[in-house]
Structure 1
Amino acid sequence: MSAARAARRFFILLLHPEARRAGAPRQPQDNAAMAKKKLVYIWSLRNAAADKAGQQIDYKGGKRYMKSVLESLVEALNDTALGDAYSLERVIYDDDANSPRDREKLAEYGFAYEPGKRWFYPPELRVQGRLVNDLLLAMASEYRREPLDSPARPAGKRAFEARLRETLDGLGADLVVLDGLLVILDELVRPGAPYCRRIVNIHPGITRADSPYERRGAYATLDALYGARGHKVVDWQTMESVAVEPVRMTGASFHYVDNGVDSGEVIHDVLNTEIDERDTILELRWNNFNRSLFPALHEGLAMMAGIDVSVG
């Protein structure tokens, strides 16, 4: 067995103990000396809305459920060894109910769950015994209302990060997971800052700069789809593109957050998503979530926790 296959088997057995051979159940870990790390999850609801999270989407002539990254994480905390290592303390979102742009992007969902209306995951979803909806905390990045060249914008961003730090400190956060947060953090993640290398991101693309599959930024999935069709977009405003050799694979990266765009040190990545040039953007997103992104998140968290298992 190759080293790569052995590593994948390790994480399959770690995260899905039912995959062990019959008669060799996972032995419970001795957690007496290991306190759970406090996990805080931060996302932008407007990004999940663009993914159609929590909805049935059109898929190759049928329908498939678009599971959100948060729902996948909750399932892993409930059903795998990750729940022995982490406790989910809060789910923070930065969307601004007073922003016309945010209201437009969240028109299908709203800013909080309302019975009978669409939401990003089943409203009864629980994590480690608690309702996920009870963990939600709105922390609007209000500075985004200001024009890009407004002198009030940098000060507003600093104030937002200060509020975020105060909240994380109050929660005693050990690790912060970003998922589709449409804000670039600055003060919190600078070298020497209190949350430097304590904030990680799960990204729907390979972020290693030296990889032929590298897809950073907000358009990573669309970039991969264009790449499979033999095009490279050089201007996302005009959609100007140039011809390139087709690349028909993509994946996901779990990486530390720095001051750049998906440029932090990679902790773990998974390249396991084949691209059909006939895919729609949502079909490719569904495939990449299920084949690469969810595994990258779960396996990356397991690596950070240093969880060990003995293969029987």
Structure 2
Amino acid sequence: MPKAKLVYILSLRNAAADKAGQFIDYKGEPRYMKSPLEYLAEALDGTPLGDAYSLEGIVFDDDAQSPRDQAALADYGFAWSADRKWIFPPDLRAQGRLLREMLHPVPSAYRRLPLNAPERAAGKSAFERALLDKLLTLQADAVVLDGLLVILDELVRPGSRLYRKIVNIHPGITRLESPFQRRGAYATLDALHGAQGQKVVDWQTMAKVPTTPVLKTGASLHYVDNGIDSGEVIYDVLGTDIAPDDSILELRWNNFNRSLFPALHQGLALLAPHL
């Protein structure tokens, strides 16, 4: 059976916020922050997942002309360099290929426009077309999103070339019926506040109301639709206990290792026969 060609898409600025590829302080001791991409590269080389998939490319949407992206990536830059930090070890390989040589920029430059700018919709559409062109060039059979800070629309509509071939790994349970459900960009922070008996009702003002503490969180691999983490779940793992005194990076480290990596691995294994 031929391998499915896999393309990975992320926002470098999200990986930088996680301190990916670096050591973080974990309750007074250093722990290495392995990214989902680094985990996947190792799994493709060391587990049967490598018999099902070949990694063809890594796409990132960060915009080197954006002052906001420049600030977010001040420590990392927009490409690997020997004199800077990077989100994975410089010699990391997957299936014999150096990951740092598999990177492809497709900047979401429309984000420089004001939210109410009339040109923004056309810019978003142009970005999705450029992203589709790159994915078709890489002959993608499946696409994994990891921390992409853009909501896709045209690429995930029924009838599109990659419909139900784009999946997202999310650091939270996305099933609405679950008492542990955490969707959106603030899923980890939402879970941390929940463990402290608080519910954030406005992320702009950080207004909160008291709630019953929820002391667990998890991760989900789900199909991508044009909502916010609302696609059909392929596999999820509720494996992360939350300590109310966790920092956000401590909780991220725990959740990556206890829930997100297993959800990514098992979800991709379940997806493979459907490609």
| Residue in structure 1 matched with residue 181 of structure 2 by the alignment | 214
Q: C-alpha distance in 1, partners of 2:75/2:255?
A: 24
Which deviates more from structure 2 when the two are superposed, residues 165-174 or residues 223-232?
A: 165-174
3-state SS of the aligned residue for 2:55?
strand
| Residue in structure 1 matched with residue 262 of structure 2 by the alignment | 295
- Alignment-mate amino acid for residue 251 of structure 1: G
| Residue in structure 2 matched with residue 28 of structure 1 by the alignment | none
Q: Cα offset for 1:44?
A: 0.1
| Residue in structure 1 matched with residue 164 of structure 2 by the alignment | 197
Q: C-alpha distance in 1, partners of 2:273/2:135?
A: 23
Match for residue 71 of structure 1 among 38, 53, 60: 38
Matching of residue 161 in structure 1 with residue 128 in structure 2 = yes
3-state SS of the aligned residue for 1:103?
helix
How do 1:35-54 residues align onto structure 2 when only pairs under 5 Å count?
35-54=2-21
3-state SS of the aligned residue for 1:242?
strand
How do 1:207-286 residues align onto structure 2 when only pairs under 5 Å count?
207-286=174-253
- Alignment-mate amino acid for residue 238 of structure 1: T
Q: C-alpha distance in 1, partners of 2:139/2:81?
A: 30
Q: Cα offset for 1:152?
A: 0.9
Q: CA RMSD in A?
A: 0.9
- Alignment-mate amino acid for residue 125 of structure 1: L
Runs of 4+ with deviation above 6 angstroms? none
Match for residue 29 of structure 2 among 62, 69, 79: 62
| Residue in structure 2 matched with residue 133 of structure 1 by the alignment | 100
3-state SS of the aligned residue for 1:251?
strand
- Alignment-mate amino acid for residue 284 of structure 1: L
Matching of residue 182 in structure 1 with residue 118 in structure 2 = no
Q: C-alpha distance in 1, partners of 2:62/2:176?
A: 30
3-state SS of the aligned residue for 1:114?
coil
| Residue in structure 2 matched with residue 26 of structure 1 by the alignment | none
3-state SS of the aligned residue for 1:246?
coil
Matching of residue 109 in structure 1 with residue 109 in structure 2 = no
| Residue in structure 2 matched with residue 29 of structure 1 by the alignment | none
- Alignment-mate amino acid for residue 286 of structure 1: W
Q: Cα offset for 1:261?
A: 0.4
Q: Deviations over 1:97-119 (max 9, x none)?
A: 00000000000100011113100
3-state SS of the aligned residue for 1:238?
coil
Q: C-alpha distance in 1, partners of 2:82/2:53?
A: 30
Q: Cα offset for 1:61?
A: 1.3
Match for residue 304 of structure 1 among 257, 271, 275: 271
Report the count of equivalent residues: 274
3-state SS of the aligned residue for 1:177?
strand
3-state SS of the aligned residue for 1:137?
strand
- Alignment-mate amino acid for residue 231 of structure 1: Q
Q: Deviations over 1:65-120 (max 9, x none)?
A: 00011000000001000000000001000000000000000001000111131000
| Residue in structure 2 matched with residue 121 of structure 1 by the alignment | 88
Q: TM-score, normalised by structure 2?
A: 0.98
Q: Cα offset for 1:296?
A: 0.2
Which deviates more from structure 2 when the two are superposed, residues 162-171 or residues 53-62?
A: 162-171
Q: Cα offset for 1:306?
A: 3.7
Q: Cα offset for 1:193?
A: 1.5
- Alignment-mate amino acid for residue 269 of structure 1: D
Which deviates more from structure 2 when the two are superposed, residues 189-198 or residues 213-222?
A: 189-198
| Residue in structure 2 matched with residue 145 of structure 1 by the alignment | 112
Q: Cα offset for 1:154?
A: 0.5
Q: TM-score, normalised by structure 1?
A: 0.87
| Residue in structure 1 matched with residue 57 of structure 2 by the alignment | 90
